[in-house]
Each structure stands twice: as C-alpha cells, then as structure tokens.
Amino acid sequence: MRHFHSQRTNVPTLLVAGLVLIATSCKKEFDTPPERTIPTGNILTVAQLRDTLAANGGAAVHFSTDMSVYCTITADEQDGNFYKSIYAQDGTAAICLRLVTSGGLYIGDRVRIYLPGTVLSAYQGLVQLDSINVDNNVVKQETLVNVDPLPVTLDQIQDADVNQLNGWEGRLVRVDSVEFIASEAASLTWSDAIGQTTVNRNLEDCNGSPNIIVRTSGYANYAAQPLPTGKGSMVAILSRFGSTVQLYVRRYGEVHMDGTRCPGQGLPIILKDFEDLSITSGGWTQQAVSGSVPWTASSFGSDNFAKINNYVGGANNACETWLISPSVDLSGVATPVLTFRTASNFTGPDLQVYVSNDYDGVSAPSSATWTQLTAALSPGSYTWTPSGALDLIPYIGSNVHVGFRYTGSSSDGKAYELDDIKISEN
C-alpha cells in the first residue's frame, strides 16, 4: 500500500491508468460464417423426375444421392390461394412442390432443387415433390423468368386420367371464353373468407363441355370478392384430385371475365331460394285473401324452401294465400322465363301460378289483372319437380309480378314446398 503515499499528485494519473486498464473491449464482432454450398450432381428434367415415380412402380421415391432438377416457379403463396404447395415447370413437364415451411419462392424464380431429402410421390393421382426445405434444398438461379401459359379448352382437360391430363398436369394454362355457371356467378364469392375453408366453383364454356372446378382457398386475399359475372379468360394451374380436374387461380389479376355470357346461360334477373329462411326478403310479400294459413320458411336436411299447408290444429282450414314477387323490370329482356320447383303431398287443389303487369305490390291480388301460367307440379309424396321454363315474353314490361296462389278448403288441401323461383333470360 506504500505507493498510495502521495495521493494528491497521483489522483488523476490513477484514474486515467485505471480507466485504460479496464478499457479492454468485450464487444464481440462476429465472424460471418463461411459460405456453404449445395452440390449439384446429376441433372434431371421435370419429365425425367416424374418418370422416376412410374419407374418405382408408383411407390414413393426417396432421394439420397446428389441430384438436382431445374425449373421455374409458376404459382406461389403470395395471393394466399396456395399454402405450402406450389407449382413449377420446365420445358418438359410441370410438378407440384410441397414445402416443409411456407414461403420463400415466388412466381418467376428459376430454381435448382437439390433432391436429397425430398420425396417424390403421388397424392390422389397428382405427382408431387414433397418435403422440400426451401432453405436447404433450393438455390435460386434467376428471378422474373416469364412462363407463358398454355392455352387449353375445357374439353381438352375434362378427364384427369387421360395420360396425366395430356401431360399437362400441374401446368400453367389459360382457358378462354369461359364463365362461372349462372347460379354461382349470380351471387357467390370466390371462396369462404369467413370460415376460411376451401370452396369449389364451376366453370363452363359455350360449347356444352363438362364443367371444370375452380378451387379457391378461404385464405386467398380475394376470397370474399364476388365471382366475375361475365365470360372471358383465366390463367390457372391445372391440377387434379383423383379423377377430378381442378383449376387454381395463381394471381387474381389474371382473371379477365367481363364479356357477354354464353347464349342461354344468362344470370337470373330475380332469384328466390329461401336460403336465408326468409319468405319476404328481397321484396317478396304474402297476401292472405281468406283464412290465415301463411307461407313459412322451412328446411329439410341442408335445403331451405317455402312451405304451406292448410292442415293446422288437426283439421283442414279453408284459405287462399298468395306469395308475390317484387316488381321486376323485364323491359330490356328479350326472352324471359320463369322457373321454380315444387314438392307436395296429400290431396287438394293445385298450386296456381300467375303473372301480372299492373299489380301495385301492396293491395289485395284482386286489385290487379293476373294471367295464369301452366307449370309442371309435384305429383305428391314430396317429390321435387321442376316447373319447366314458363315463357314470360307475352308479359314483358317494366312492372312484372309473379304470384303463387295456394288454396285449401275445410275438407282437403295439399302441403306445398316451393323453392328456387327464378326469372332469367332464356
């Protein structure tokens, strides 16, 4: 302790010396790890890769020796329609890629996939390269590589089992002059954005080809958008589930369907399907001319419809009750038709269908002029029966109502179920 003798003079020196002594930095500068490379090995085309599955008798192929395949990503997860399952192709063929973790590959990426660790298999007929770890199996070569979609018709792609969709399985395709079927295009969205389940919609063309499914995830960022109502083109991935062909849109912006629909496939001008279990939604009204037997919403299984029955309280009740549509403007429609379906049971007067051009929408039916139409009706036993197309051309006008008149007496009366009332252009 002797050296602390002359403290006064030593103070600053001591402090400085002390600070210098302890100024050995312990801030770590980290080395960057050395580059690690993925070997290439034998190079396969996508077609050759797919062939190895057949060569293995269809059993899953586990790759262990160095091998790579080059291909270009044609569908990615960006729009939300694909999740951990994307598509790629080269000049020879296309394939579904299953990722271990979501993300990291984008449309237009030309990649080398190092095969060891991945597994080639088929799921419901679809050949897929599975267990791809993007971080470990994929090396990107180039970005923004353009791949032109292959133009195909619905007819050409209807059968999934025909030689792997003509060799197009997983390909990026474009279908032209197609539209969603009228019943879906009229009111449905692409998918179920609320429940986030995956939904099928049906695509048709004007040639009567079989419909093809367009399948969309509830996570697609356009899931809640209404389906396009017109006819046009769509770029999609051609895929399959067993023998069912499925199309998957990869970019919402590649759907251009706003042209005029196919003849005879017009959208309904009015549609009442009772799915909301409401009799009066959409402007429908009921008029009790006599008695008090109303139309009520009813269901059987998952189907909802309107029902009426005058057998109430253990007896038939005399009644006359109308179900009347809102006013429909048919003035611009060339060939309007009315369709609906019925199911009935028991005996009594038939349901009657009327049309009017001068009903005011609120008064008693007797205040207007009604013309009865002839429709096919249910023969009984609750057999659902389509009405056939009821021609409305003679009644074209700006204020058209259709009415369903149910009558029953104190001694008899049928039970009627009524559904899918539709006025559309024929």
Partner 1 sequence: MTRSSAHRPHCRLTRATLVFATSVLPVATLLAQVTDTTGSAADTARAELRAQLPVHTVTASDLESELGSQDISGILQSSRDIFSSTAGYSFGPARFRIRGLDGENNDVLINGIQVNDPEAGWATWSQWGGLNDVTRNTEIRTGNTASRYLFSGIGGYSAIDVRASGMRKGLRVSYALSNRSYDHRVMATWSSGLLKSGWAFSISGSRRWAEEGYVEGTFYDAWAYFLSAEKRLSDRHTIGLVAFAAPLRVGRQGLATEETHLLTNNNYYNPYWGFQSGEKRNARISTDNKPMFILRDDYQLDDRTKLTTSLHYTFGRDGVTGLNWYDAADPRPDYYRYLPSYYTVTDPAYASTLTTLWEEDPAARQIDWDQLYFANRKNLFTVQNADGIAGYNVTGDRSKYIVEDVRNDLRRMGVNAVAVRNMNARSDLTAGVSFIDHVTHNYKLVDDLLGGDFWVDVDQFAEQDFSDPSVAQNDLGTPNHVVREGDRFGWDYDMHVRELKGFAQYEVRWSHLELYAAGMLGCKRFWREGFTRNGRFPDNSLGNGDMHKFLQYGLKGGAVYKFSGRHYVTANAAYLDRPPQPRNAYVSPRTRDEVVPGLTTEKVTSADLNYVLRFPRLKGRATLYYAKINDQVWSRSFYHDVYRTLVNYSMSGLDERHTGVELGLEANATSTITISAVYAGGRYVYTSRPLATITRDNSSEVVAQDRLIYLKNYRVGGMPQTAAALGVKYNSPKYWFVSLTGNYFGHIYLDPNPDRRSAEALDNFVVDDPQWHDLLDQTRLDDGVTLDLFGGKSWMIQRKYRLALTVSISNILDNTDLAVGGYEQLRYERTDVDKFPPKLGYLYGRTYFIMLGLSL
Is 167 strand, coil or helix?
helix
**Residue from the set 179, 205, 273, 417 that interacts with partner 1 by CB under 8 A:** 273
Classify residue 63 as exposed, middle or buried by CB count within 10 Å of its CB (0-12, 13-18, 19+). Answer: buried
For the CB of residue 258, give the shortest distance to partner 1 in the complex, in Å: 17
Binding mask 54-73 for partner 1 (x = CB under 8 A): ------x-x-x---------
DSSP of 227-290: PP-SEEEEEEEEEEETTEEEEEES-GGGEEEEEPPPTT-PPEEEEE--TTS-SSGGG-EEEEEE
78 binds partner 1 per the rule CB under 8 A? yes
DSSP of 300-342: ETTEEEEEEESEETTEE--EEEEEEPPPB--TT-SSEEEEEEE
252 binds partner 1 per the rule CB under 8 A? yes
385 binds partner 1 per the rule CB under 8 A? no
CA 383 to mean position of chain CA atoms = 31
For the CB of residue 310, give the shortest distance to partner 1 in the complex, in Å: 27
Closest to partner 1 by CB, 209 or 317: 209
330 binds partner 1 per the rule CB under 8 A? no
382 binds partner 1 per the rule CB under 8 A? no
**Residue from the set 67, 73, 89, 109 that interacts with partner 1 by CB under 8 A:** 109
Q: What residues between 216 and 245 interact with partner 1 by CB under 8 A?
A: 217-219, 221-222, 239-241, 244
256 binds partner 1 per the rule CB under 8 A? no
296 binds partner 1 per the rule CB under 8 A? no
148 binds partner 1 per the rule CB under 8 A? no
Closest to partner 1 by CB, 65 or 366: 65
**Residue from the set 57, 65, 144, 163 that interacts with partner 1 by CB under 8 A:** 144
Angle at 336 (CA atoms; ends 334, 341), nearest 5 degrees: 165
20 binds partner 1 per the rule CB under 8 A? no
Q: Which residue's structure tokens are 């070569």?
A: 141
* Residue (of 153, 117, 121) closest to 138 by Cα position: 117
| Residue 3: DSSP 8-state | G
DSSP of 41-98: -EEE-HHHHHHHHHHTTTS-EE--S-EEEEEEEEE-STTSS-SSEEEEE-SS-EEEEE
* Residue (of 360, 349, 277) closest to 319 by Cα position: 349
1 binds partner 1 per the rule CB under 8 A? yes
**Residue from the set 3, 26, 208, 381 that interacts with partner 1 by CB under 8 A:** 26
* Residue (of 218, 221, 220, 183) closest to 202 by Cα position: 183
Of the ranges 47-55, 215-223, 326-334, 369-377, which one interacts with partner 1 (CB under 8 A)?
A: 215-223
Rounded CA separation 425/338 (Å): 9
Q: What residues between 169 and 188 interact with partner 1 by CB under 8 A?
A: 183
391 binds partner 1 per the rule CB under 8 A? no
**Residue from the set 420, 421, 424, 425 that interacts with partner 1 by CB under 8 A:** 420
> Are 59 and 103 a contacting pair, CB within 8 Å?
no
124 binds partner 1 per the rule CB under 8 A? yes
For the CB of residue 315, give the shortest distance to partner 1 in the complex, in Å: 34
Rounded CA separation 319/359 (Å): 21
Closest to partner 1 by CB, 240 or 401: 240
Of the ranges 148-156, 209-217, 276-284, 358-366, which one interacts with partner 1 (CB under 8 A)?
A: 209-217
Closest to partner 1 by CB, 231 or 240: 240
